[in-house]
Every structure is written in C-alpha cells, then in structure tokens.
Amino acid sequence: MNTGEQQLNGFIHRFVPADAQSQTAEQETLPILLLLHGTGGSENDLLELGQMLVPSAALLSPRGKVLENGMARFFRRLAEGVFDVPDLKLRTDELVDFITAASAAYHFDPAHVIAVGYSNGANIAACTLLLRPGVLSAAVLLRPMVPLIPEPLPDLTGTPVFISAGQMDPIVLPRETERLEILLQQCGAAVTTCWHRGGHALSHEDVDQAKAWLSAQVSR
C-alpha cells in the first residue's frame, strides 16, 4: 500500500499500515494511532513518535485544515488560548468523519483508534472525547488545555486518558492542565497525569511514560 501523502475528506494525511511481520492473532488488539500535530506541524511530524510509542501499530496522521499565518492547525483560535468554539465544534465533526472514511479506505476497525495529540492536536483530541464520546478508545494528550466545557457532560466512564504536562510550560499553565484533568474525571474517564519539569516542548520522559502507558492499554 502507498504510505505517501494522501487526501481524504479534504484532509491531506499519511497512513502507515501495521507492520506486516506483526500480523498475528494478537494484531487485532493493536491500536490505530491517530497522530494530531501541533500548530505549524504537518502530517509527517508525529510519525516517528507514533512508531516509538507502539512500534507495530498502524498510523493515521492528518494535516490540520486551518491556516493561521500560514501555519496548519486543526481549528481556529481568536487569541492565544482563546478558541473559536463554533469552528472547534465544526472541525471536530470533520475529524470524526475523516476517521470513519479512513477506516473504510484502509480497512481498520474504528473501535481501536487511539489519539496521540500534541498541543493544538491534543486540544482537538480532547474535544473529540468531550463532544463525540466513543469515537476514540483512548487518548494520549501531550500539553493539552480545556478546549470547551460541553453541556451536558458526556459519559466517558472507563475511557483511558494519558495527560503529559510541563510544570514550566509558558503556553499551557499548570492550572489549565489541572482543569482538564478534573473535567475528564467528572465525565468518568480514567485519567493518568504525568508532570515534567520542562516547558511546552516534548522530552524523552514524555515519550517513555506515554509508551509505558500505551503498552499497558494494548496488553489489556
């Protein structure tokens, strides 16, 4: 299968199939990692990260369709940390439709999709959990904040969520991470939060902890 740049439902993206050598009976339990980049990223940014997190998993990596000063994002914002909520809701629905279309095009089970999002990508992954519960089987949220507070709150009972935050992050302040953690717990999600001494950039510690957490989810 061609794993180069593709386009589906308006999303430029990459799809990397699961490692053919790992196609065993256990392969059915492996996730499809939905890789969601940060502001200014592309469909290529998180491929290496995805391969490190779950080496044999399939990877689905779309490019955000919104441009901000020429930089790709998954939804509009009005200012730093101030989101365009109507656009956020629209883009979340578009992303869910893309996942559905991709599952048909690439023949994977949408019930096994786990989001791995960084910054802007983590925020739309969190919004997908809150607005479209059941679409993601789990989520790894790297440097996220609260995207919105839906009414009523969704039922995310038992949905595993990993949050990784920097104590010195100048973009996502610790109180924002704590707000998201509390919100997801109020919805019933099983939240694991890891704090690091660094800032907004990712570190080896982020990767190691997310990999260990994902390994535990996949082996269940």
- Dump pLDDT digits (tens) for 103-156: 999 999 999 999 999 999 999 999 999 999 999 999 999 999 999 999 999 999
> What pLDDT score was predicted for residue 213?
97
CA distances from 84 to 66, 81, 170, 178, 186 (A): 12, 10, 21, 22, 24
Measured CA to CA, the distance from residue 32 to residue 135 in angstroms comes to 12
pLDDT tier at 21, thresholds 50, 70, 90: low
**Is position 200 annotated as part of the catalytic site?**
yes
**For the purposes of burial, counting CB atoms within 10 Å of the CB of 113, is it exposed (0-12), middle (13-18) or buried (19 or more)?**
buried
Query: What is the pTM assigned to this prediction?
Result: 0.94
Spot the catalytic one: 42, 61, 119, 164.
119
**Is position 215 annotated as part of the catalytic site?**
no
Cβ neighbors of 154 (< 8 A, separation 6 or more) are 129, 130, 131, 133, 187
Residue 133 resides in a domain: yes
Beta carbons of 33 and 114 less than 8 angstroms apart: yes
| CATH code of the domain containing 123 | 3.40.50.1820
Q: Which domain holds residue 173?
A: 6-218
Spot the catalytic one: 97, 196, 200, 203.
200
Half-sphere exposure of 128 toward its Cβ, with a 13 Å CA cutoff?
Answer: 35
pLDDT tier at 26, thresholds 50, 70, 90: very low
Residue 1 resides in a domain: no
The partner residues of 66 in beta bridges, in order of sequence, read 73
Residue 206 resides in a domain: yes
> What pLDDT score was predicted for residue 20?
57
**Is position 42 annotated as part of the catalytic site?**
no
Question: Mean of the pLDDT values across residues 18-30?
Answer: 59
pLDDT tier at 6, thresholds 50, 70, 90: confident
| Tally of domains within the chain | 1
Q: Would you call 60 helix, strand, or coil by DSSP? A: strand
Spot the catalytic one: 37, 42, 61, 169.
169
The partner residues of 103 in beta bridges, in order of sequence, read none
